[in-house]
Amino acid sequence: MNTTAHEYRTGWKRALIETRISLTSPGDLMGFILPTGIAVVVLLFMQNADFEGAPVSLGSMNMPSLIGMNIVFGGITGMVGILAMDRTNGTLLRAKSMPGGMTGYLVGHLVSTAMFIAVTVIVLLAVGLPLFDGLEFGTPDRWLMFLAVLAMGIVAALPMGAVLGALLDNPRNMGLVIFPIMGLIAVSGIFYPITALPTWLQWIGQAFPMYWMGLGMRHALLPDAMAAVEIGGEWRTLTMFAVLALWAVVSMALAPRLLRRMSRRESGSAVAARRADMQRDW
């Protein structure tokens, strides 16, 4: 028990150090700020656009969806990128060689990525609430819904990222994750109501957590009248939480198995081969 507690404390300290370093690194900050800034600028151009007489502008409608998208996208790609890079530079091998090192390593990256997601959400709220009319965030039930969806999204997205990261052995293969996620964004009702899509695309969007995170954030931040533009004309709160919980359970069941298999395959020769492969490409 003391050993396990020590591993988790080490992971927590690692997360704090990594987050502090990233927040003071210009490169990391640009990678964090630039995509969010571009998305907000796009929404500003939508600010005065209407959707079939909705009570809020298209920009206000999309602001909560953007928050949900960033939680899923940031959680998955963040974990995938970290695991792929650490397999190449030998960080994962060093963690494996230390007693309890893998637990501390994974806890550190999970907590650090969750912190970055939380910072992203805070920035988007700080920008969106003053700029976009019609967002409602001033009552306890709204706060509770928002926090519940945020927590469920993080719990679902981070293990998914760990699963996919365990399957990729080279940072060059990040496109195999990013491009499908970009496709899911297009069919998940993030920048326009999903009801505008053909029915078969609506079903594809609803099979993945991206749509449900956007729906949950719209429920938390938009007037109840906006449910009229959703599928079935309602927020489907219970279904939303059930789908996100299902993805979280499945991902958390798969992640430890795949990560253990990945760590067993790590060796000095494997790291050297990956480095040589990347140097040839450069």
- In angstroms, rounded to a whole number, what is the distance separating the alpha carbons of residues 152 and 267? 35
- In angstroms, rounded to a whole number, what is the distance separating the alpha carbons of residues 64 and 128? 9
- In angstroms, rounded to a whole number, what is the distance separating the alpha carbons of residues 69 and 49? 21
As given in the structure block, the two tokens for residue 2 are: 């003391």
Amino acid identity of residue 153, one-letter, is G
Phi-psi sector, 93: left (phi>0), alpha (psi -120 to 50), beta:
alpha
- In angstroms, rounded to a whole number, what is the distance separating the alpha carbons of residues 134 and 112? 33
- In angstroms, rounded to a whole number, what is the distance separating the alpha carbons of residues 18 and 89? 16
Nearest to 124 by CA among 90, 98, 150: 150
Question: Digits of tens for pLDDT over the chain (282 positions)?
Answer: 566 776 778 778 888 887 887 777 776 667 667 777 777 777 777 766 666 666 777 778 888 998 999 899 888 988 888 888 777 777 776 776 666 667 777 788 888 888 888 888 888 888 888 888 888 887 889 999 999 999 999 999 998 998 898 888 777 778 888 899 989 999 998 888 898 899 999 999 999 999 999 999 999 999 888 888 899 999 999 999 999 999 999 988 888 788 777 777 766 666 666 666 666 655
Amino acid identity of residue 274, one-letter, is R
Confidence (pTM): 0.85
